[in-house]
Structure 1
Amino acid sequence: MNSLVKIKQLILVTGDILMLYLSLALTLLVRYDQPFNNRILDIHLGPFTYIFIFWIFIFYIAGLYDIRHLKNDLGFFKRFGTTLIVNAGLAIATFYILPLDIAPKTNLFILLAFFAVLGFIWRRLYNRLISSSIPCTNVLLIGNNDTTKEIVKQVENNPQLGYAIKYWLKDELGDKEIDHISQIIISENIDLIAIPDHIKKDSKTARAIYRNLALGIETIDIASFYERIFKKVPLSELSEVWFLENLVSQNKIYETIKQPCEIIMAFIMMIILLPLMILIGLLVKLTSRGPAIYKQTRVGQYESEFMLYKFRTMTKDAEKKGAQWSQKNDARVTTLGKFLRRSHLDELPQLMNIIKGEASFVGPRPERPEFTEDLKKVIPHYELRHLVRPGIAGWAQLNYHYGASVEDAYQKLQYDIFYLKNKSFWLDLGVVIKTLRMFFVKN
């Protein structure tokens, strides 16, 4: 992640923490004659500090620290309001379940009211002044194709990302343009050069960039810069060599440790969630004809096929005309099925797939054999998504809407390849945490 983005996030988190404690101070000022004596501070400061830690974590899950989406629009305020309601419930549960010295219902709601106002003011101030005042990374972009155009559009529309395209060399690089690079770097105060790999390997271009190496200029290829901004890879920019260098033997140790840990975790979750799964199964049976559990053949690791388990969300004869893409607002989905899909509760039986070693908690979503064969014919490198076990949750699933076409599959593959290249415990944890965001954000 761009270091400037991290700084912006740190300022945002710090501001929220200050607003929380300021809200607590105002609450005590309103409620007590001597609000800041040692006794009152002691019984409130400790418990509320624990509560605030949980609240900041919930803010993160809800996406309130995602720099890409910090606009003060209606969607943000809906998310902010929903998060406050969840945090209120969490605080009430904490005060009444844990053996604390206080159970401050009135204080809690006064604090929430203060924070709703102060948090709103802080976010407005942050977006107008602080976010825009932090200096950006000045970029010299070289090349003119769909990838560079996409980069320019994304950077211009999202200044909070921390980049500014100061100069865009669109034309083919001749001797004149190559000599001009040094002047651009100095005059535009360039911090980063993003350049297509084939141009970077040209000896004259490399020499021109090398002359400015002592200035601390970062030079990366277009694919890496695209990946940094979009959190996906540009398939059109990648060669077979790239895949050999970036996908083969990536994090084999982590993969070896990951599977047995997931099997144990899935087994424990299966036991804990069994009553809920029985209840869902009964509801599925009572609300529509057909089995509670739906079994379907999917393509797994190394293109081996396995039987995927889900709670049935469609009518019994949904595919009597053969396999077909699921559509948004699909008429075949039952009323209960819509809720199960929206909450992802229909995925719970896949814990059995994890226990059997066929799936993972995080990985590319498994596709049906019929669709896989068709997509392999029209999308380059599609088969590479099967290098790892498929997942209940996935990076593509988080970042792209429900796929129902070849173009959708192409876009989701770019996210899948990003996951394969960067897979780690921390990325998996991030996917799991952000999947919980569905409780705060509809889309």
Structure 2
Amino acid sequence: MYNTLRLKQLILLAGDIITLYFSLAMMLLLRYGENNIGLTRVYNAHIESFSFIFAAWIAVFYIAGLYDIRSSKNDFQFLKRSFYALLVAAGAAVLYFYFIPALITPKTNLFIFLGIFAVVGALWRTSYNNLLGLQGSKERLLIVGSGPVTEELVAAIQQNPQLGYKIPYRMNGGLNDPEFKHLSQIFIDHKISTIVIPSHIKRNLAAARVIYHQLSLGISVIDVATLYERMFEKVPLVETEEVWLLDHIAEYRRAYDTLVVPLQRVAAFALFIAFLPLMAVIGALIALSGGFPVVHRQTRVGKYGAAFTLYKFRSMRKNAEPKGPEWASVGDPRTTFVGRILRYTHLDELPQLWNIVLGDLSFVGPRPERPEFVEQLKKEIPFFELRQLVNPGVTGWAQINYRYGASVADAYQKLQYDLYYLKNRSLLLDVAIVLKTLKLLVVKIS
């Protein structure tokens, strides 16, 4: 079973790129015609300048969630996201063209382009969304078994037809379902293209033989965990086993560790120097409002379980934990007035740039926990220690997809996102996480 969701995202991206350049071509034809040889330099200048803008626009569209197939529905939320994304992208283009030569007369050409793209882009997006929702284009699934993860999958498929899946038949009884012995007929009668099975059925040799004999019918087989991961971009712990983890998590990404890690330490040092004036102001405000120290040092658990000292601007009052470590929470009453502002804007985390320089942290990775909580969470949550296979991060996949964690239940949910990151770790995913983190910060501050 090919990852059709990823394919649809790539088609969406390609369609946007084509639409952007088509709108640019239409604007140039309207403004200059097509036969004036003397305008070649003007054409080239427009293409070069707009190409840079288009790259920024694609990033804005991604941050706005316009490449999330789950939200590709022609509803009010989609229209609102599209409008705000275009507004931000247009603002960025206006600012950019303000600083380049007047050769391309941006005040006129840019607004003509925006008008064309608004129409062409809207037609492309709404047409594609309608195409995604067509019944005939859906992959027909037979889902075997039941359980919380399976039911979550079924609900998501039924509520989101644009995902491209349809469930014409289910076997809730799993191996005990009397129809399991008649798979071939069910596949033919209901035109099934893919069978979805939970891990415990996949391990059953008798069931595996029955399913194996259906491959000649052109049936694809996928396990619940894989389909769940593709749809929700997290790994379901209840469907995860040691063998799966050995296949997907233990892989060593040599290129990533060799290239990305040193580069981000250099980048962190440059940012640390750039933010020194701001950090000096923040330190002065903390000292004036609550005295010293202004920087809080706290022991956290890093890669391979090694302890390190995490640096943050002090946001809590002194002696805030007289009874020992406590879970932090949104609106924590232990925070000071200045501390609440720092936490809300995440400016309290600026000193962690030095942790990245030292190699204790990365820009992106699972959030480092305190040793006291790690020991507790290891006992209560399976595979929790796997978070320690990589450097912890200032931001991460779990942080941008789940609310502030303040309990064991929250840690359980966030681990599912952390495992997804470990399995799919790459420079591209890191960039995506940083972009979405910036979006969350801008939304919170505004």
Query: Shared fold (TM-score greater than 0.5)?
Result: yes
* Runs of at least 5 residues in structure 1 that lack an aligned partner in the other structure: none
Which of 176, 179, 191 matches 1:177?
179
1:347 matched residue in structure 2:
349
Tell me how far apart the structure 2 counterparts of residues 242 and 71 of structure 1 sit (CA, whole Å).
34
TM-score (norm 1): 0.85
Which of 417, 438, 441 matches 1:436?
438
Deviation digits for residues 99-137 of structure 1 (CA, Å, limit 9, x no counterpart): 46234224434543554455445444433x222137122
1:423 matched residue in structure 2:
425
CA contact (8 A) 2:3 2:230 kept: no
1:386 matched residue in structure 2:
388
Deviation digits for residues 66-106 of structure 1 (CA, Å, limit 9, x no counterpart): 11223455554454344334323422332233346234224
Compared CA separation, residues 74 and 405, structure 1 to 2 (3 A): farther
Secondary structure, in 3 states, of the residue corresponding to 2:133?
Answer: helix
CA contact (8 A) 1:2 1:162 kept: no
CA contact (8 A) 1:82 1:440 kept: no
For the aligned residues, what is the CA RMSD?
3.3
**By how many angstroms is 1:439 displaced?**
5.2
Q: Which moved more, 1:16-25 or 1:211-220?
A: 16-25
**By how many angstroms is 1:152 displaced?**
1.0
**By how many angstroms is 1:216 displaced?**
3.2
Compared CA separation, residues 200 and 24, structure 1 to 2 (3 A): closer
CA contact (8 A) 1:277 1:348 kept: yes
2:244 matched residue in structure 1:
242
CA contact (8 A) 1:250 1:421 kept: no
Compared CA separation, residues 7 and 375, structure 1 to 2 (3 A): closer
1:50 aligns with 2:52: yes
Secondary structure, in 3 states, of the residue corresponding to 2:351?
Answer: helix
CA contact (8 A) 2:144 2:174 kept: no
Matching residue's letter, 1:152: V
* Runs of at least 5 residues in structure 2 that lack an aligned partner in the other structure: none
TM-score (norm 2): 0.85
1:198 matched residue in structure 2:
200
Compared CA separation, residues 251 and 13, structure 1 to 2 (3 A): closer
Q: Which moved more, 1:273-282 or 1:384-393?
A: 273-282
Compared CA separation, residues 320 and 122, structure 1 to 2 (3 A): farther
Tell me how far apart the structure 2 counterparts of residues 254 and 17 of structure 1 sit (CA, whole Å).
28
Compared CA separation, residues 145 and 106, structure 1 to 2 (3 A): same
CA contact (8 A) 1:290 1:316 kept: no
Deviation digits for residues 224-261 of structure 1 (CA, Å, limit 9, x no counterpart): 22222222222122333433444335435643554333
1:4 aligns with 2:8: no
Compared CA separation, residues 169 and 69, structure 1 to 2 (3 A): same
Compared CA separation, residues 238 and 49, structure 1 to 2 (3 A): closer
**By how many angstroms is 1:398 displaced?**
2.0
Which of 83, 90, 93 matches 1:88?
90
Aligned counterparts, 1:4-403, within 5 A: 4-17=4-17, 19-20=19-20, 24=24, 38=36, 39=39, 44-72=46-74, 75-99=77-101, 101-113=103-115, 115-116=117-118, 119-120=121-122, 122-127=124-129, 129-133=130-134, 135-174=137-176, 176-251=178-253, 254-285=256-287, 289-316=291-318, 318-320=320-322, 322-333=324-335, 337=339, 340-403=342-405
Tell me how far apart the structure 2 counterparts of residues 288 and 105 of structure 1 sit (CA, whole Å).
51
Secondary structure, in 3 states, of the residue corresponding to 2:309?
Answer: strand
Secondary structure, in 3 states, of the residue corresponding to 1:225?
Answer: helix
Percent pairwise identity? 51
**By how many angstroms is 1:409 displaced?**
0.7
Q: Which has the higher contact order (CA 8 A, sep 6+)?
A: 1
Deviation digits for residues 40-74 of structure 1 (CA, Å, limit 9, x no counterpart): 75664543343223212321233211112234555
Give the aligned length.
440
**By how many angstroms is 1:37 displaced?**
6.2
Tell me how far apart the structure 2 counterparts of residues 389 and 170 of structure 1 sit (CA, whole Å).
41
Matching residue's letter, 1:131: L
Secondary structure, in 3 states, of the residue corresponding to 2:175?
Answer: coil
Tell me how far apart the structure 1 counterparts of residues 224 and 11 of structure 2 sit (CA, whole Å).
30
